[in-house]
Chains A and B, each alone.
Chain A
Amino acid sequence: MKFEYTIPAMDFNAAGKASTDMKRRLTQLGLPLELIKRVAISMYEAEMNVAIHGQGGRAEVEITTECITARFVDHGPGIADIELAMQEGYSTASEEIRNMGFGAGMGLPNMKRNSDELLIESAPGAGTTVTMRFCLGRGAS
């Protein structure tokens, strides 16, 4: 099964809709709750990043009997130093975004913690692609 979502830039009413829709679908499929939660949390983090930092983009989710793979592609400025961006608490979010409740610098570390595989492909000016894989049967972390 494949699903695709468009993520608009800086639209706080729409941001999070892809993740909530996917969570409902996974729940309907009867998948384990711990897996659903890991996917929901990770997708939400990635979706907010695409909306806030990535100038919008898209999400593609593929579900097989073994794994769920979620790929987020944005058109943003890219990440110059991925290692720095992975540090807890590091954020480039504006004051306006922080006032909306985001930009604590926990997004990428949280995605890493909740996914079984995380791949970040990015370069300045080239946008960012984040691919996460979640496997059935890993167990709660």
Chain B
Amino acid sequence: MRVKEIASILDTELLTSPPDMDEIDIATACGSDMMSDVIAFVKERVALLTGLTNPQVVRTAELLDIRVIIFVRGKKPSAELISMARDQHIVLMSTHYSMFTACGRLYQAGITGDSGCRTE
């Protein structure tokens, strides 16, 4: 799924838009405020939904090659964090939906979580 479609489904505000944004293809998503779990379980082509807005969210994304971060519950990161994400070509978006609803809307639209997190 393309970023624009995700943005439409979640009615997001786009905070960063890297030059290759239209080419990013998201297969699945991971919703968590626990970066420890994200590091341990996340797979490829993932969008990360989180309510955390500290620098570790962007560091986690950079280290795991996560290209899309969606802040739920209307959370907005600091200008510094936005700048960090911009430098790393990471798409930041903010949605007013709760974590549960945001995940549900994406799931309903075909982004299933089956391959988003490794559980073996």
List chain A positions with a Cβ less than 8 A from chain B.
12-13, 15-17, 19-20, 23, 37, 40-41, 44-45, 48, 98, 100-107, 109-110
Contacts and interface: CB of A to CB of B under 8 A. Distances in A.
B79 interface: no
A109 B60 CA distance: 17
Interface size bracket, B side: 10 to 19
A103 B36 contact: yes
A109 B39 CA distance: 11
A25 B50 CA distance: 28
Contact of B35 (A20, A23, A102): A102
B57 A37 contact: no
B55 interface: yes
Interface in B40-83: 40, 50, 52, 54-57, 59-60, 62-65
Contacts of A105: 36
B36 A104 contact: yes
A106 B60 contact: no
Given A101-B60, A102-B34, 8 more contacts: A40-B63, A41-B39, A100-B56, A101-B50, A101-B56, A102-B35, A102-B36, A106-B39
B37 interface: yes
A96 B62 CA distance: 24
A130 to B, nearest CB: 16
Contact of A20 (B36, B39, B54, B59): B59
Given A101-B56, A104-B36, A107-B36, A41 B62 contact: no
Nearest to A107: B36
Nearest to A24: B62
A89 B39 CA distance: 14
B36 A23 contact: no
A48 B65 CA distance: 18
Per CB-CB distance, the 3 closest pairs between chain A and chain B, nearest first, are A104-B36, A16-B59, A101-B35
